[in-house]
Structure 1
């Protein structure tokens, strides 16, 4: 790699390597079981050395917990027209990201989510990721509304949206053929209507 190589190309190569490691890890975890799969096996499947593995993921569990879709959703949310409501912009961003992911990539994301919910060790650690998602969402809402990310209403709104996404993902993880985006649309409508029961 030369120093004149554009940073965008380097970042894309890193993203492809990270995605390949994660794809092989999830496949092995599903085939062999999470506890029975080693970093060495994941590295061998991805055709990299264990030291290269650790440059991308600090631990085995991070290969499953790493969520590349979160950042894609935030970036897509930033591109949404200002005349959309906040929830409308979240919905539009979700549809944009889903539409841009290949069917294979989306299926891989669904398998990753199912694995997180099925393994108690991963499920517990995933809570930290959900907190990060709430802060990411609050930052986005703050930028869109001109309010502070620490504003009570901004933070609780972000938490409600992340909670709806999380609870829908948990339900959808039991049926990988479920229309996940359709379920999220239904959940967002429920949230928009004030979560009536």
Structure 2
């Protein structure tokens, strides 16, 4: 155990440390000023944002789609256009905001979230779907089939954004390796 760190952290000023501790004023001054070297930022370059965690990005996708499901359910079902748009918007928002290393996690999410939110919209919408489980399954099946193009569009947009982000990260790492920022 480093007695210098214990003395400085627990008992205050390192100048008051006893001689047996082995601390000198130069050691303390150097250790306080020691910071990891930082590269100077070039003007006009954006600082990299760490991004959302995987769970938070899935919650963004689910939340935006849930808003569309509630609106769709309160409107009585209708054409399903609100739910379709909300799943596409939620997928794009989550994919753009997620951390670079976790972006691949969102590829299977839009269809899964769409199916769950279709059930929510059917239950909120009421009508014939609330009478029995068979009617609910039939209503959800019809809505899922009608929403298939939206699921495909959301999934393809997620894949396209993932590919673009991976290529951008590879390009950025290549420039950093060469000493450019």
Instruction: Specify the TM-score bucket, using the shorter chain as the normaliser.
Output: 0.3 to 0.5
- Greater relative CO, 1 or 2 (CA 8 Å, sep 6+): 2
TM-score w.r.t. structure 1 length? 0.36
TM-score w.r.t. structure 2 length? 0.38
